[in-house]
Protein backbone atom coordinates (compact mmCIF):
# COMPACT_ATOMS: atom_id res chain seq x y z
CA UNK A 1 0.00 0.00 0.00
CA UNK A 2 1.30 3.42 -0.95
CA UNK A 3 -0.50 6.11 1.01
CA UNK A 4 1.49 9.22 0.13
CA UNK A 5 -0.62 12.15 -1.03
CA UNK A 6 2.27 14.50 -1.87
CA UNK A 7 5.41 14.04 -3.89
CA UNK A 8 6.60 12.81 -7.27
CA UNK A 9 7.71 9.35 -8.30
CA UNK A 10 8.30 8.27 -4.73
CA UNK A 11 11.17 5.80 -4.34
CA UNK A 12 9.09 3.58 -2.05
CA UNK A 13 6.41 3.23 -4.74
CA UNK A 14 8.96 2.42 -7.45
CA UNK A 15 10.67 -0.07 -5.12
CA UNK A 16 7.35 -1.82 -4.45
CA UNK A 17 6.76 -2.00 -8.20
CA UNK A 18 10.23 -3.47 -8.80
CA UNK A 19 9.59 -6.10 -6.12
CA UNK A 20 6.39 -7.10 -7.91
CA UNK A 21 4.09 -6.18 -5.08
CA UNK A 22 0.43 -5.61 -5.98
CA UNK A 23 0.16 -1.86 -5.49
CA UNK A 24 -2.77 -0.16 -3.80
CA UNK A 25 -1.97 3.55 -4.02
CA UNK A 26 -3.56 6.73 -2.83
CA UNK A 27 -5.50 8.04 -5.86
CA UNK A 28 -3.47 11.14 -6.68
CA UNK A 29 -2.27 11.92 -10.18
CA UNK A 30 1.45 11.28 -9.68
CA UNK A 31 0.75 7.79 -8.24
CA UNK A 32 -1.44 7.03 -11.25
CA UNK A 33 1.22 8.32 -13.64
CA UNK A 34 4.01 6.39 -11.92
CA UNK A 35 2.03 3.13 -12.11
CA UNK A 36 0.62 3.95 -15.58
CA UNK A 37 -2.91 3.48 -14.20
CA UNK A 38 -2.27 -0.25 -13.64
CA UNK A 39 -2.54 -0.37 -9.85
CA UNK A 40 -5.57 -0.10 -7.57
CA UNK A 41 -6.32 3.37 -6.19
CA UNK A 42 -8.21 4.66 -3.19
CA UNK A 43 -9.14 8.11 -1.96
CA UNK A 44 -10.22 7.28 1.56
CA UNK A 45 -10.29 4.53 4.16
CA UNK A 46 -13.67 3.22 3.05
CA UNK A 47 -12.49 2.77 -0.56
CA UNK A 48 -9.32 1.00 0.57
CA UNK A 49 -11.29 -1.43 2.74
CA UNK A 50 -13.63 -2.13 -0.18
CA UNK A 51 -10.70 -2.81 -2.53
CA UNK A 52 -9.01 -5.14 -0.05
CA UNK A 53 -12.22 -7.01 0.67
CA UNK A 54 -13.12 -7.51 -3.00
CA UNK A 55 -9.87 -8.29 -4.81
CA UNK A 56 -9.21 -11.81 -6.04
CA UNK A 57 -5.97 -13.74 -6.40
CA UNK A 58 -5.84 -13.41 -10.21
CA UNK A 59 -6.17 -9.64 -10.06
CA UNK A 60 -3.39 -9.45 -7.45
CA UNK A 61 -1.12 -11.53 -9.70
CA UNK A 62 -1.97 -9.37 -12.72
CA UNK A 63 -1.17 -6.15 -10.84
CA UNK A 64 2.10 -7.66 -9.60
CA UNK A 65 3.12 -8.66 -13.13
CA UNK A 66 2.25 -5.19 -14.46
CA UNK A 67 4.28 -3.50 -11.71
CA UNK A 68 7.39 -5.57 -12.49
CA UNK A 69 7.06 -4.89 -16.22
CA UNK A 70 6.65 -1.14 -15.69
CA UNK A 71 9.54 -0.90 -13.26
CA UNK A 72 11.91 -2.65 -15.65
CA UNK A 73 10.74 -0.59 -18.60
CA UNK A 74 10.70 2.87 -16.99
CA UNK A 75 12.54 2.85 -13.65
CA UNK A 76 16.03 1.44 -14.16
CA UNK A 77 19.25 3.38 -13.55
CA UNK A 78 20.48 3.16 -17.12
CA UNK A 79 17.31 4.70 -18.56
CA UNK A 80 17.14 7.29 -15.79
CA UNK A 81 20.73 8.37 -16.39
CA UNK A 82 20.23 8.71 -20.14
CA UNK A 83 17.07 10.79 -19.65
CA UNK A 84 18.75 13.01 -17.03
CA UNK A 85 21.89 13.29 -19.14
CA UNK A 86 19.83 14.46 -22.11
CA UNK A 87 17.76 16.82 -19.95
CA UNK A 88 20.79 18.47 -18.35
CA UNK A 89 22.84 18.13 -21.56
CA UNK A 90 25.60 16.11 -19.88
CA UNK A 91 28.19 14.63 -22.21
CA UNK A 92 28.05 10.83 -22.43
CA UNK A 93 31.33 10.48 -20.51
CA UNK A 94 29.81 12.33 -17.57
CA UNK A 95 26.71 10.10 -17.66
CA UNK A 96 29.01 7.05 -17.50
CA UNK A 97 30.89 8.55 -14.55
CA UNK A 98 27.63 9.24 -12.70
CA UNK A 99 26.42 5.70 -13.45
CA UNK A 100 29.68 4.19 -12.18
CA UNK A 101 29.58 6.34 -9.03
CA UNK A 102 26.00 5.33 -8.20
CA UNK A 103 26.77 1.66 -8.84
CA UNK A 104 29.82 1.84 -6.58
CA UNK A 105 27.86 3.55 -3.80
CA UNK A 106 25.12 0.92 -3.99
CA UNK A 107 27.69 -1.88 -3.97
CA UNK A 108 29.39 -0.46 -0.87
CA UNK A 109 26.07 0.17 0.88
CA UNK A 110 24.60 -3.29 0.26
CA UNK A 111 27.74 -5.43 0.32
CA UNK A 112 27.55 -5.70 4.12
CA UNK A 113 24.02 -7.12 4.06
Q: What is the pTM of this model?
A: 0.68
Model pLDDT, residue 25: 93
Model pLDDT, residue 22: 95
Mean pLDDT of successive 10-residue stretches along the chain, which has 113 residues: 58 90 93 94 95 96 96 82 74 70 74 63
Domains of the chain: total: 2
| DSSP collapsed to 3 states, 19-68 | CCCCCEEECCHHHHHHCCCCCEEECCHHHHHHHHHHCCHHHHHHHHHHHH
Considering the domain boundaries, does residue 1 fall inside one? Answer: no
Model pLDDT, residue 8: 56
* DSSP SS3 for 111: coil
Model pLDDT, residue 23: 95
55 and 91 in a single domain? The answer is: no
Model pLDDT, residue 4: 54
> Length of the chain in residues, anyone?
113
Tell me which residue range forms the domain holding 97. 77-110
Amino acid sequence: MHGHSAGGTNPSLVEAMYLGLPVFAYGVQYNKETTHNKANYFDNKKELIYLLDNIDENELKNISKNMITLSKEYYIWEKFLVVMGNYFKFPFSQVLLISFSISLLLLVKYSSI
